[in-house]
Amino acid sequence: MQLTEKIKLAIIKGVFERGIFDAKRLMEIDSKKGEFTISGIRSIIVGTLDFAVLHEAAEKLAGNAGPAILRAQGEKVGRIEARKAWRKNMKRFNLSFDVRTVLSTLPAIYAAVGWGKIITTGINMKTGEGTLIIRNCFEADAILELRGEKEKPQCYFVTGYLKGLFGGITGKKFQVTETKCKAAGAEYCEFKITTGRESV
The pTM of the full predicted model, rounded to 2 decimals, is 0.82
Which H/E stretch holds residue 151?
none
Q: What is the mean predicted confidence (pLDDT) over 52-77?
A: 90
Q: List the one residue out of 81, 123, 134 whose CA is nearest residue 99.
A: 123
CA distance 182 to 85: 28
- Residues near 139 by Cβ (< 8 Å), separated by ≥ 6? 48, 51, 55, 154, 155, 156, 157, 158, 183, 189
The reported pLDDT for the residue numbered 2 is 46
For the stretch 4-19, pLDDT in tens is 556 555 655 555 555 4
Q: What is the mean pLDDT of the segment spanning 170-178?
A: 94
Closest by Cα among 108, 54, 111, 84 to 165: 84
Distance separating the N- and C-terminal Cα atoms of the chain:
51
**Sheet arrangement for strand 41-43:** 27-30, 35-38, 41-43
Is pLDDT larger for residue 174 or for residue 26?
174
CATH number at 47-195: 3.30.1380.20
State the average pLDDT over residues 59-80: 92
Lowest mean pLDDT of 9-23, 75-89, 145-159, name the range.
Answer: 9-23
Closest by CA position to 82, among listed 101, 108, 64: 101
| Sign of the Cα pseudo-torsion (20, 26, 31, 32, in order) | positive
For residue range 152-161, list pLDDT tens digits in order.
999 999 999 9
- pLDDT reported for residue 39: 67
- H helix runs in 4-149, sequence order: 5-18, 23-26, 48-62, 66-81, 87-92, 99-112, 138-147
Question: How large is the greatest C-alpha to C-alpha distance in the chain, in angstroms?
Answer: 59
pLDDT at 43: 77
The Cα 113–Cα 115 span in angstroms is: 6
Classify burial at 8, counting beta carbons within 10 Å of its beta carbon; exposed 0-12, middle 13-18, buried 19 or more: middle
Q: Give 95's pLDDT tier (boundaries 50, 70, 90).
A: confident
Question: What does the pLDDT read at residue 74?
Answer: 95
